[in-house]
Amino acid sequence: MRIFHSVVIKLQALDEGVYDFYPGQKVHSFFLDLISKSDPKMAKLLHDEKKEKPFTVSSFLGLNVDEPIHINKHSFYFIRITMLNDEIFDSMIASLLEKNALRQEMKIGNIPYRIVEIFFDKEHSKWAAHASAQELFLSPLESNLIKLRFHTPTLFRSGDEHNRYPVPEKVFFSLLRKFNKFSEFKIEQQIEKQFKEISILERKTISKRVIFRDFYLEGFVGDVIFKVPENNQELLKITNVLADFAFFAGVGYKTTMGLGQIERLPIE
C-alpha cells in the first residue's frame, strides 16, 4: 500500500547569513542532495521530471516568504518535505541513517546546517503526517463545505499565463491530476467536469509576491471556503478526499519549491 508522507526537518544553522531571495529553490536542491546520497539515479530522475513530481518542499516554516530571511548562527529552523511514494521516503531515510547525513554538514544555498531532528507525525508537528490513499477514501468526513488555508503563494500556470485566484476548477483539477498519478486508487477523470459545480462561499485572500533569483511570481494566500452541492454524492466524496490529499500534494505551480502549501481547516 502506497503511503503519502509529510516530514518536518529541524535544522541548526552552523553560520549566519541572509537569503535575499525566496529560498524555496535552495531547499529543493537540499532535498535532492539528500536523496542523491543514497540513490543518485533517483535524484536525477526527480530533477529531470518535467510534469507532476512526487514531492514538495517548503521554505523555512513560520518565516515570511516575501522578505529577506536572516539566519542566525546556532539558531534552529524548520523545513517540510512531502513525498508521494515510499521509494523516495525510503531513500531519504537511508541517507539519514545509512549514509550518516545526520552527522554531516549540509548547505541550503551558502549557509551550512546540521540536521538535528526529524518529525513524522502530528504529535510533534502539525506539518508532519502520513496517510494512504485508502485511508483518505475511508475518512468519514464528507462535508459540503471545505475550508482550505493557502499558506504560501498559490497560482496556476497555463502556457505563459498565470492565474492568481482560487478558482475551484483549477484547485481541484490540480489535486486530481496529482492524485491519479501517484495513488494506486484512481479517480474517474470525468469527475473534473463536475468541478464547475463547486462555488466559493467565502474568500479571505490577499496577493503575495515571492522573489526568486532571476524572476518573481505572484499568487494568493489566505482562507477559502468551497461549497460542494449536497445532492451530488460522488462529487462530495471526491472533493473531500482531494482536500485531505492537498496537505501532501500542494496545489498549483512550483509546489516543489514551496509554493501552494495547504492546510485543511475545520469549519467553525
pLDDT in tens, 226-236: 999 999 999 99
Residue 148's contacts (CB-CB under 8 Å, 6 or more residues apart) are: 171, 223, 224, 226, 243, 246, 262, 263, 264, 265
Q: Where in the chain is the domain with CATH 3.30.70.1900?
A: 133-265
Pairing of strands 216-227, 199-211: antiparallel
pLDDT at 253: 93
Q: How far apart are CA 167 and CA 237, in angstroms?
A: 19
Higher per-residue pLDDT: 37 or 101: 37
* H or E element, residue 236: helix 233-249
pLDDT at 99: 62
Residue ranges with strand state E in the chain: 3-13, 17-19, 55-57, 69-71, 76-83, 106-108, 111-119, 129-132, 145-154, 156-158, 161-163, 199-211, 216-227, 262-265
Q: Which residues pair with 263 in a beta bridge?
A: 149
Q: Is the pLDDT of residue 157 over 90?
A: no
* H or E element, residue 45: helix 40-48
Q: What is the pTM of this model?
A: 0.94
**Fold (topology level) of 133-265:** Alpha-Beta Plaits (3.30.70)
**Fold (topology level) of 3-129:** Alpha-Beta Plaits (3.30.70)
Q: Is the pLDDT of residue 181 over 80?
A: yes
Extract the C-alpha cell encoding 224. Answer: 477559502
191-204, pLDDT tens digit by residue? 999 999 999 999 99
Q: Is the pLDDT of residue 141 over 80?
A: no
Q: Which residues pair with 6 in a beta bridge?
A: 82, 129
Q: Which residues pair with 11 in a beta bridge?
A: 77, 115
Q: Where in the chain is the domain with CATH 3.30.70.1890?
A: 3-129
**Of 20-24, 59-63, 93-97, 225-229, where does mean pLDDT reach its minimum?**
93-97
Percent of the chain with pLDDT over 70: 98
100 band by pLDDT with thresholds 50, 70 and 90: low
